[in-house]
Amino acid sequence: MHKLILLLFALFIFGIGQAQQPASGSKQINIVYGGTFTKNEDVYPGAAIFSKDDQQVQFEHEGADLWCDVAIYYRKENRLKAVGNIRLQQGDSVQLTSGRIDYNGDTNLAKAWENVILQHTGMTLTTDTLRFDRENQEAFYQDYGTVVDSTNTLTSKIGRYFTQLKKSQFLDSVNLNNPEFQLVSKQLDYYTESKNAYLYGPSTITGEGYKIYVERGFYDTNIESGYGIKNTRIDYNNRIIYGDSVFFDKKTEFASATNNIIIKDTINNGLIRAHYAEVFKAKDSVFATKRAVSINLVEQDSLYMHGDTLMLTGKPEERVLRAFRNAKFYKTDLSGKCDSIHFDQKTGITQLITRPIIWNGENQMTGDSIHLLSNIETEKLDSLKVINNAFIIAMDTVSKVGYNQAKGKDLFGQFVDNELRIIDLVKNTEVIYYMYNDKQELIGIDKTICSAIRMTMAENEIEDITFITDPDGDIFPEKDLPDNSRKLNGFIWRGDERILNKDDIFDEDDNNIILPVIQGINNPIDTDIEASEAIEEEKKRDSINAPGNFASPVPLTPKKKSKQLESIKKDSSAN
């Protein structure tokens, strides 16, 4: 009887039939269970105070129920203040608990504080203060919060949660903890269902055997796979990978990069530049193409090696570098070209294969096959071999008309301090050499054949020639040696092909490569949103095509939908 009298008194006070209505378009907060009713005009003017008795006070508003120990209810303003053991339940999926809540029925806004916990379909958000916008189904905090689901734990200073998208947006001091990796970011979006993270600021992901830095990218936290499209760097298996767009997948132990790529070998201090590259951790290999070049330091001088395709394989101490098709190399005093180059770090041998040619200063050397040998301990150039049809040509530096020439079956050269000093030609050797006195006056042209020749070099020029074993020849006055006798059989001068600097290793096709445009740098690509929109569009089409409706375009079948979503993901990964 006492409770009934209090309830009737409350109804009389609020004048249910004649009370002022809430703002246009809004719905009144309803009392489901009032418990004990009191008023305190001094402290809460115009408010009714409801306190729990044997059960909690309960209110209802537009599909949501709120339970609390004490409610201070302002009917005319359509708002209430709830205190103690609060539970706000929206449907079957959203539940919010806290110590206090201020709720406005006109704006559908709730401010909750004191040990706030928001739960939604497998996601739990905890924070000290949370604002929940029921109109837009968004929750917001700005004094640190934590989101936990079945896979990850995320913390940030500022955050927003969208219940309809099952999406969290984290701002400032973001940390994602996973048993397999750690992610730190300035800003990221995270989807509870897909476990996908979209990175919008400086972010670092550290997992077993890898570390990724990116300022705009995507990461699938389920499978540790993703990509970066702005200032991306991956530290991976003794290599550091940079590129405009970089993809990484832990399961397949694979990474790839597109546009302006740099791959650094942290052990051997070498690097590869290209516009497309793939790194296979399990095979310890790198594949690079599109203006690809390998750069290594050889005795304080950079060695540049280029090919249409570069492949680097092998363990750190046993690297093998191959340059395929249109291969070229350059260092300050040595350059060359051929069809392909093969360098074996373990043996120190560099092979120039198929139509090889090298230039040492002004000296042009050709043969069927050319090998450069390095000291595997000092990594300095040690020796040179030209196998079969060895031929050396150098333009006469004085007259700039004739050519000094030497040929034989094989050639063996020796380097001292990375400079070619001694050249030995063996078997069926021949020489044509322009001889001058101290006044740079032409003495004559030496034309000799013998079994072997030794040439000593100084500053990449011939200093002395020694004929070994049965030389047969003479020094001819210039007028006595006709032009057609001044060239050895097989003479081909290729001076116009000489590689004079590091840029000459690239041809016109290399320099005119059109790079793909990397999408999403300024306009984020959110494949979860696109997938959601695709599904919603299908629902609309299905609704229009339902029995009794007029015909409309054919809706997406499950197979077509699957292909469309897969296409979205592939496009994103490619970019």
Query: Are residues 401 and 380 in contact, defined by beta-carbon separation less than 8 angstroms?
Result: no
Whole-angstrom distance, CA of residue 385 vs CA of residue 350? 10
Spell out the residues 6+ positions from residue 136 whose beta carbon is closer than 8 angstroms to its own: none
For the chain, how far is it from start to end, CA to CA, in angstroms?
73
Examine the pLDDT at 7 and tell me if it is beyond 60: no
Pairing outcome for strands 153-156 and 145-148: antiparallel
For residue 468, what pLDDT band results from cuts at 50, 70 and 90? confident
One-letter identity of residue 444:
G
Task: Outline where 347-440 has alpha helix (H).
Answer: none
HEC secondary structure over 274-321: EEEEEEECCCCEEEEECCCEEEEEECCEEEEEECCEEEEECCCCCCEE
Predicted local confidence at residue 377, as pLDDT: 78
For residue 212, what pLDDT band results from cuts at 50, 70 and 90? very high
pLDDT > 70 in the chain, percent: 87
Whole-angstrom distance, CA of residue 184 vs CA of residue 189? 13
Q: Does residue 531 or residue 243 have the better pLDDT?
A: 243
For residue 523, what pLDDT band results from cuts at 50, 70 and 90? low
Predicted local confidence at residue 279, as pLDDT: 92
Neighbours of 202 (CB within 10 A): 15
Predicted local confidence at residue 542, as pLDDT: 53
Helix/strand/coil for 239: strand
DSSP 479: G
Long-range pairs of 469-478 with CB within 8 A, sequence gap ≥ 24: 472/448, 473/431, 473/446, 473/447, 473/448, 473/449, 474/446, 474/447, 474/448, 475/435, 475/443, 475/444, 475/445, 475/446, 475/447, 476/444, 476/445, 476/446, 476/447, 477/444, 477/445, 478/442, 478/444, 478/445
pLDDT > 90 in the chain, percent: 63
Whole-angstrom distance, CA of residue 203 vs CA of residue 186? 6
Query: Are residues 444 and 478 in contact, defined by beta-carbon separation less than 8 angstroms?
Result: yes
Q: Does residue 377 or residue 31 have the better pLDDT?
A: 31
Neighbours of 193 (CB within 10 A): 13
For residue 533, what pLDDT band results from cuts at 50, 70 and 90? low
Predicted local confidence at residue 571, as pLDDT: 39
Classify burial at 561, counting beta carbons within 10 Å of its beta carbon; exposed 0-12, middle 13-18, buried 19 or more: middle
For residue 1, what pLDDT band results from cuts at 50, 70 and 90? very low
Spell out the residues 6+ positions from residue 258 whose beta carbon is closer than 8 angstroms to its own: 243, 244, 245, 246, 275, 276, 515, 516, 518
Pairing outcome for strands 254-265 and 245-249: antiparallel
Whole-angstrom distance, CA of residue 236 vs CA of residue 255? 9
3-state DSSP helix/strand/coil percent for the chain, to nearest 5? Answer: 10, 55, 35
Average of per-residue pLDDT values in the chain: 85
Whole-angstrom distance, CA of residue 493 vs CA of residue 497? 9
Tokens of 357: 């040619």
Spell out the residues 6+ positions from residue 315 whose beta carbon is closer than 8 angstroms to its own: 284
pLDDT tens digits, one per residue of 143-196:
999 999 999 999 999 999 999 999 999 999 999 999 999 999 999 999 999 999
Q: Does residue 539 or residue 345 have the better pLDDT?
A: 345
One-letter identity of residue 365:
M
Predicted local confidence at residue 540, as pLDDT: 55
Helix/strand/coil for 507: coil
In 16-166, where do the E strands start and end? 30-33, 36-38, 48-51, 57-61, 64-68, 70-74, 79-90, 94-104, 109-120, 123-133, 138-141, 145-148, 153-156, 158-162
Pairing outcome for strands 181-191 and 167-178: antiparallel
Q: Tell me the pTM.
A: 0.79
Mean per-residue pLDDT for 51-78? 95
Predicted local confidence at residue 560, as pLDDT: 36
Taking the CA atoms of 266, 268, 274 and 275 in sequence, report the sign of the dihedral they define.
Answer: negative
Query: Are residues 237 and 251 in contact, defined by beta-carbon separation less than 8 angstroms?
Result: no
One-letter identity of residue 496:
D
Helix/strand/coil for 570: helix
Spell out the residues 6+ positions from residue 542 whose beta carbon is closer than 8 angstroms to its own: 555
Whole-angstrom distance, CA of residue 487 vs CA of residue 121? 87
Examine the pLDDT at 6 and tell me if it is beyond 90: no
* Residue reference for tokens 């996973």: 178
Query: Are residues 220 and 247 in contact, defined by beta-carbon separation less than 8 angstroms?
Result: no
For residue 378, what pLDDT band results from cuts at 50, 70 and 90? confident
User: Any idea how long the chain is?
Assistant: 575
